[in-house]
Structure 1
């Protein structure tokens, strides 16, 4: 009887694990797929949702305070927001630090002139298949993924800006 209980518990655990895996969203989103909704909180504490940005081109960036390349990408994103914000670009950077204080220290050194959200639970990066920091997803005004980019190097900036311009032109 003791072995029957173990077998039943093992079977239940395997069934639960299988259901959990099957219910996960597909990772590694690709261009042409609808962007999933994010679960983050804006700096002021209000919920941050992609649905509220419908009609705008969104550069969704995932970052962490310990990320060296993120320090380079923030000034570039500030520049892109200033340059293309009036044309319909909205940059949203989601911080993935478990401790908000670490993000606040980063932002004190490298200020953001765009929307910053926080996901201390780490739920949102899995929806987008994020594998490293920084990672960015360009979402067209129609809510579909235009392009995905991992990392940030100075030599990437021109190509990333070109994608933004193309997405803004497609918005018209």
Structure 2
């Protein structure tokens, strides 16, 4: 960004000299083109930064791209490719995690217990966004979890950077609460995920939970 700004300033200065006759006309034309390019880069950079900052807020409805995009999902030891259309009309939790995150792994038994208790009214998706957690790594991880946690059957979304960017996740564990109407009801840390709050969530009641910093 600094280089682009310097380029713009130099081009402007030389364009002034060109008008005074100290620069060659052909050079002035090249500098005009350079200035136009630099200006475009500045505007483009600003737009990209604005896109990076923009993230979904509580109360917003998820776009159609969320439901249609396909993902690699591990469940019961098998890997399939699927989208999230089957989640429509039912509340669900997105739990962002990674294999190196001890705080994330600590919450696995609780999430499995909640899924077992409320399977008819709630879906829980464990979303992995760490690029080094490749599919083979996650498949091995799943086998270990099946040995460590009784009846382990949570759905793991494999190394999905697209979802991380969509929700601007900066730290984990990170929870997105999405209601049956497809709107975000809460964005929280692990402490907010309690049975009482899950019951309120399923019932469609308001969730007065502290917003987690991304």
- Shorter chain as denominator, the TM-score bin is 0.7 to 0.9
Is 2:167 aligned against 1:133? no
Is 2:145 aligned against 1:110? yes
**CA displacement 1:87-136 (0-9 Å, x = unmatched):** x110111111213133334333334512211244x121222232211101
Q: Secondary structure at the match of 1:141?
A: coil
In structure 1, the partner of 2:209 is: none
Is 2:112 aligned against 1:85? no
Tell me the TM-score normalized by structure 1.
0.79
Q: Distance in 1 between matches of 2:53 and 2:155?
A: 25
In structure 2, the partner of 1:57 is: 91
Structure 1 stretches of at least 4 aligned residues deviating more than 3 Å after TM superposition: 2-6, 21-25
**CA displacement 1:109-166 (0-9 Å, x = unmatched):** 334512211244x12122223221110111111111122112x3xxx26x53222111
Q: How many residues align?
A: 162
RMSD over aligned CA atoms reads 2.5
Which has the greater radius of gyration?
2
* Kept after mapping to 2: 8 A contact 1:61/1:136: yes
**CA displacement 1:2-51 (0-9 Å, x = unmatched):** 54343233222222223334455732622x222341643323341332x3
In structure 1, the partner of 2:4 is: none
- CA gap of 1:47–1:29, structure 2 versus 1, over 3 A, is same
Consecutive unaligned residues of structure 1, counting only runs of 5 or more, are none
Tell me the TM-score normalized by structure 2.
0.65
Between 1 and 2, higher relative CO (CA 8 Å, sep ≥ 6) is seen in 1
Counterparts of residues 19-168 of structure 1 (less than 5 Å) = 19-23=47-51, 26-27=54-55, 29-30=57-58, 32-36=59-63, 37=66, 39=69, 40-43=71-74, 44-49=79-84, 51-86=85-120, 88-99=121-132, 100=134, 101-111=136-146, 112-120=152-160, 122-150=161-189, 152=190, 156=191, 160-168=194-202
